[in-house]
Structure 1
Amino acid sequence: MIRRLAALLLTILMVPAAGAQEVLRTDRTEPGHLRPPFRAYEPPPPGHEPRLRRTESRAVYKLPQGLKGFATLDRTLSHLCQRGAFLQQIDGLYWAATPDYRYGVAFSGGANLIDPQNRRQPGKTYFFRNQDSRCEVWIGDQAKLMPHYIGG
C-alpha cells in the first residue's frame, strides 16, 4: 500500500500542471481597450455652437469689520441653501469683501436670488458662504448696509 501511494505521488509530481507550459502573452489584445466606452462631451455640430452668456462679478459691499453688526446667521435659510432651495442664481455674481471671506450677495428684490418658497423679506440683503452642503446664509438690513455699498 505504501508502494502504491509512493507511485501515485511520484506520478503526480512528474506530470506537469495543466497549462504550465502555455506562456501567456503580455501584449494587449486590443490597443484601445482601456478607453472609456463613451465620450463624456460631444461637441455640437457646426453651426450649433452654444451661445455663451458673459457675466462679470461685481463687488457691491466693502465691510472692513466683516459681517459683525451688519448681518446675522439664519439657520433656516442656511439649511434651505444646503438643500438647494434658497440660492444665488450665479454664485459670486455680486459679492461682499470682508477681511476674512468673500461672501456671495443676493438681494430681496430678486437680484441674483433663487427663492422658490418665497422666504425673502423686503429690504434685506443675503450673504452666502460655501454655496454647497456647507452653505451658510446671513441676513442684513439694506438700509444699515448702504454706507458700505460700492456697486455701480
Structure 2
Amino acid sequence: MTRRLAALLLTILLLPAAAGAEEVLRTDRTQPGHLGPTFRAYEPPPPGHEPRLRRTESRAVYKLPNGLNGLATRDRTLSHLCQRGAFLQQIDGLYWAATPDFRYGVAFSGGANLVDPQNRRQPGKTYFFRNQDSRCEVWIGDQAKLMPHYIGG
C-alpha cells in the first residue's frame, strides 16, 4: 500500500514539471532588439555620449628637500575654502611636490590645475594642497623663491 501511495505522490509532483517542459516560448513574442550582437571587447560610445574624461599623467614639478619650511606658509582662509570645496586642484595630484615627509598637490596662480570660483588667487603664487577633502590644508609659496627647486618640464 505504501508503494502505491509513494508512486502516486511522485506522479503528482512530477506531472507539472513534465507539462512545463513541453511548452517552449517562441522568440517572436519578445522584443526584436533584445538579442544583440555577440560581445566585443570595445564598442565606441553612441554619438553624443563621448567620454568627458581625459587621460593625464601626473608630474612632479618641485623637489623640496627641506619641505615647505621657509618656502610656503599655511593659509587658514584658503584651507577652510578647500575643505568646503571652494578652492581646489582641478585634478588632485596632477602636479605635485616631493618633500621628505609628504607629497603635496600643486596648483598655480595662473590657473593651471586650480579651481577658484571666488577668485582668491594672487599673481606669482604657487599653492600646495594636502588632503583635498574635509581635512584639506593649503600653503602659499612665492614662485620666485620656489624656482631653484623647480624640476617640471
Unaligned runs of 5+ in 2: none
* Residue-by-residue CA offset, 1:90-146 (whole Å, 9 max, x unaligned): 000000000000000000000000000000000000000000000000000000000
Q: Which runs of 4+ in 1 moved over 4 A?
A: 1-49
Q: Within 5 Å, give how 1:3-152 maps onto structure 2.
A: 48=49, 50=51, 52-152=53-153
Between Structure 1 and Structure 2, the one with more helix by share is 2
CA distance in structure 1 between the partners assigned to 2:6 and 2:47 by the alignment: 79
Structure 1 residues 60-79: Cα deviation after superposition (integer angstroms, max 9, x where no partner): 00000000000000000000
Question: Once structures 1 and 2 are overlaid, which stretch shifts more, 89-98 or 14-23?
Answer: 14-23
Once the two structures are TM-superposed, the CA of residue 50 in structure 1 deviates from its matched residue by 2.7
Query: CA 1:50 to 1:12, structure 2 compared with 1: closer, same or farther past 3 Å?
Result: closer
User: TM-score normalized by structure 2?
Assistant: 0.68
For residues 111 and 64 of structure 1, what CA distance do their matches in structure 2 show? 24
> Cα gap change, 1:33/1:44 in structure 2, threshold over 3 Å: closer, same or farther?
closer
Normalization by structure 1: what TM-score?
Answer: 0.69
Moved more, 47-56 or 35-44: 35-44
The answer for unaligned runs of 5 or more in structure 1 is none
Provide the aligned length of Structure 1 versus Structure 2.
152
* C-alpha distance in 1 between matches for 2:9 and 2:51: 75
Q: Give secondary structure in 2 for the equivalent of 1:19.
A: helix
Identity of aligned residues (%): 91
Structure 1 residues 126 and 7: alpha-carbon distance in aligned structure 2, compared to 1, 3 A threshold? closer
